[in-house]
Amino acid sequence: MRTSGEYCLHRCPAFIADPGPCHPEGMPVRMSPADLLAALDAQVIRLTREADRVLPADPVPTCPGWTVRDLLIHLGGVHRWATDIVGHGRTSVSDDDDEAFFAAPDDDDALLPWFVEGAGALIGTLRAAPADLAAFVFLKNAPPPAVFWARRQAHETTVHRVDALAARLGRMPSTAEAGIPTELAVDGLDELLTGFVPRRSSRLRTDEPFRTVVAATDAPVAWTVAVSADPPVVVEGSDPDAHSRLTGTAAALYLGLWNRGDDVAETGTVDLLGHWREQVRVTWS
């Protein structure tokens, strides 16, 4: 399984580089590095427990065409890829040497231990990373690399832990079943909306410009997404003149915008979710 390619939000990820411009100070994060690492550790444990309750050949409803084995190989490879970047302070990446990261054992009994080993190495490497780490990052206005990678892998693992839950349930889980903490969901929404969506590669475009507010009902946070023929512009705050509003708990919005949930409501004259699910591509997950 290579890391080249792309995917729509309703499918599981592969990667294409699009670093985009980065602000010197980077974007602020909403969780401390220590809390992000604690979240990553907790999500790894929960994912491991879910994977231990299903078979590697079981399908993953939230990742059409994938099995649990595919999911574990993907995430285990991503963890090893990130560990390599952080551990070696790599300032650039290439598809040429990525195969080894995804070289999982053929024996199904050895697959989950392989995944756990990679996750443990990632967490240990992130904990040991210096605050002034110089390394590759790829989101618009990314925070400093050590924080960026803790944040990115916390959310990468959270989304795929929900996929593992879906495999056990045989369907998309509800927001309550997914059990994502509000603080983690808010941080993930911020990363997705202000980091991924505004990049120059974004396909969220329209010939008839509109603005949509994404607002959590259980936390004092909102973002306004302006969509036009140019890359989207996302600002924090609620535009009272926006054409539509997308609302739900922070966790529901988090799952909905990763297309892992349907517990959101949209009102107004524009269907942001429709545009989102048809056009948004997330790369270098």
Domain stop point among 158, 181, 204: 181
84 within domain boundaries: yes
Spatial distance between the Cα atoms of 53 and 256, rounded to a whole number of angstroms: 25
Residue type, 134: A
Spatial distance between the Cα atoms of 116 and 36, rounded to a whole number of angstroms: 18
| pLDDT attached to residue 4 | 30
| pLDDT attached to residue 13 | 46
Domain stop point among 129, 152, 181: 181
Residue type, 154: A
Residues of the chain with pLDDT under 50: 1-11, 13-26, 283-285
| 42 and 159 fall within a common domain | yes
226-236 per-position pLDDT tens digit: 999 999 999 99
14 within domain boundaries: no
Domain of 158, in residue numbers: 33-181
Spatial distance between the Cα atoms of 120 and 33, rounded to a whole number of angstroms: 17
Q: In this structure, are strands 244-248 and 210-216 parallel, antiparallel, or unpaired?
A: parallel
17 within domain boundaries: no
23 within domain boundaries: no
Q: Which residue has the tokens 């240990």?
A: 124
| pLDDT attached to residue 2 | 32
Domain stop point among 137, 153, 181: 181
CATH code at position 120: 1.20.120.450
Nearest CA among 280, 243, 254 for reference residue 39: 254
User: Is the distance from CB of 32 to CB of 127 less than 8 angstroms?
Assistant: no
284 within domain boundaries: no
| 71 and 112 fall within a common domain | yes
| pLDDT attached to residue 25 | 46
pTM: 0.89
Q: How many domains does the chain contain in total?
A: 2
